[in-house]
Amino acid sequence: MKILISSIACCPGMGSEAKVGWDAVLAIAENHECHVITHSVAKESILAAQCAGQAANVTFHFYGENYTWHPNRLVARMQSWLIYRKWQSQLLDVALDLHRKHQFDVAHHLTYATWRVASPLWKLPIPFVWGPIGGTATMPVRFWGILSPTALAFELLRVLSTTVARHGQGFRDCVKNSAIVIAANEETEKFLKRFRRTAPINRLPVAFFTPDQIDAFRRTEISSVTEIGPMRLFAGGNIEGRKGVALALKALARLKDSGIDCLYTISGGGPEINKLISLANELGVADMVEFHAGFTGQAYRDKLKATDIYFMPSFRETTPITLLEAILSGCYPVVADASAAGEIVRKVGGHAVSIESPRITTEELSNAILWGHQNRKQMRRQAELASVKVRSMFSQTSYVEGIESAYKMAAKT
């Protein structure tokens, strides 16, 4: 089929949404003729990749004014929404012009992978596939006390945004008129069912891993166990309040009081770093915590392979790529039983701890690390099993099968 793809974030060699868009386009283009509408900011990187032989069979269409990200990550995140809304406002005109020239069979929205800003492409005279999309999770109010003032303000703004978006005509028209909507996880599917009623909703994770990516993250000696020495813990990404790292630090203090030696690496920047540094000092665990600006490439993969436990009790995730990469690398996952992270760990193995209250979550986080410390061989075996399951559940083959199913269903409408 001839597919028109909308993907504002689509760029080789990058992470997050840009990785999602790029990887998906490459996979879909193996079976279909793909035209991709994306932002002009990625033009230079994409053309260079095509010259090097990547995505040579994909036709890209660029528009949008160039921009630079604000150095403050929280401000940059809000900036991204403004850029996205402006880009989306021109999308339909660009798509209609392309459809007149190329006569596509299906239109497909890939990124951003969110329900909050509806795509206008359902208005095209062809079936429209929306997704995978997510972003329906909320951080429970009972945990807002762990947030910095800036993070709390963001959560309040997000709650307001959710209320406005779900009642907006743009969202309701898009979710109703899409031939197929693909939910990224369980919570998103439940949310969308209220609006789709009996219309079909498929479920498929936003991210996947190619065979080469899986091999790159694979821990070659995954069954080896260090019987002595500190437990090596890791959290990475954009360190925001919703990631719950403050609770992890409080759990670390409980472990220190019990005489358990740990080294916790918090990798990446973000608006909560200064608050977390102060909290680590206040709790007396600064000597057990390494704040790192962020690992990349082989250094990142090596760090994960040298880690015992991925330790981030995040409350809101669509598809937590860092968690998945850690599991692929042989890390045992300890997360909060919330959103997509909890859903994944319940399926593949690990500890997904209660979010009944901050106190109980903190206790269960520390107990999970204590269990790992006392049962290192069993923890390593379970980590290996979890890695095998992630390789299957988040493989390129599974993703392509899910997209193909959606396209076939859409073509029949």
**3-state SS class at 335:** strand
Same domain, 194 and 234: no
**Domains held by the chain: number:** 2
Q: What is the pLDDT of residues 159-197, one digit of tens each?
A: 988 988 889 999 999 999 999 999 999 999 999 999 998
Query: Which residues, in sequence order, are CB contacts of 399 under 8 Å at separation 6+?
Result: 24, 27, 204, 205, 208
The enclosing domain of 223 has a CATH number of 3.40.50.2000
Same domain, 39 and 90: yes
- The residues facing 310 across adjacent strands are 234, 333
SS3 labels along 292-317: ECCCCHHHHHHHHHCCCEEECCCCCC
Same domain, 369 and 406: no
- What is the residue-wise DSSP string for 22-73? HHHHHHHTTTSEEEEEEEGGGHHHHHHHHHTTTTTT-EEEEES------SSH
N-terminal to C-terminal alpha carbon distance within the chain: 15
**pLDDT classification of 224: cutoffs 50, 70, 90:** low
Same domain, 73 and 157: yes
Is the pLDDT confidence value at 221 over 70? no
Same domain, 294 and 180: no
Whether this model's pTM surpasses 0.75: yes
- The average confidence (pLDDT) of the chain is 93
**Cβ burial, residue 131 (10 Å; 0-12/13-18/19+):** buried
| Domain that residue 220 falls in | 212-393
Same domain, 275 and 383: yes
Same domain, 306 and 219: yes
Same domain, 301 and 353: yes
Q: What is the pLDDT of residues 355-393, one digit of tens each?
A: 999 999 999 999 999 999 999 999 999 999 999 999 999
Same domain, 371 and 243: yes
Same domain, 34 and 116: yes
Q: What is the pLDDT of residues 56-115, one digit of tens each?
A: 999 999 999 888 888 877 778 788 889 999 999 999 999 999 999 999 999 999 999 999
Same domain, 35 and 181: yes
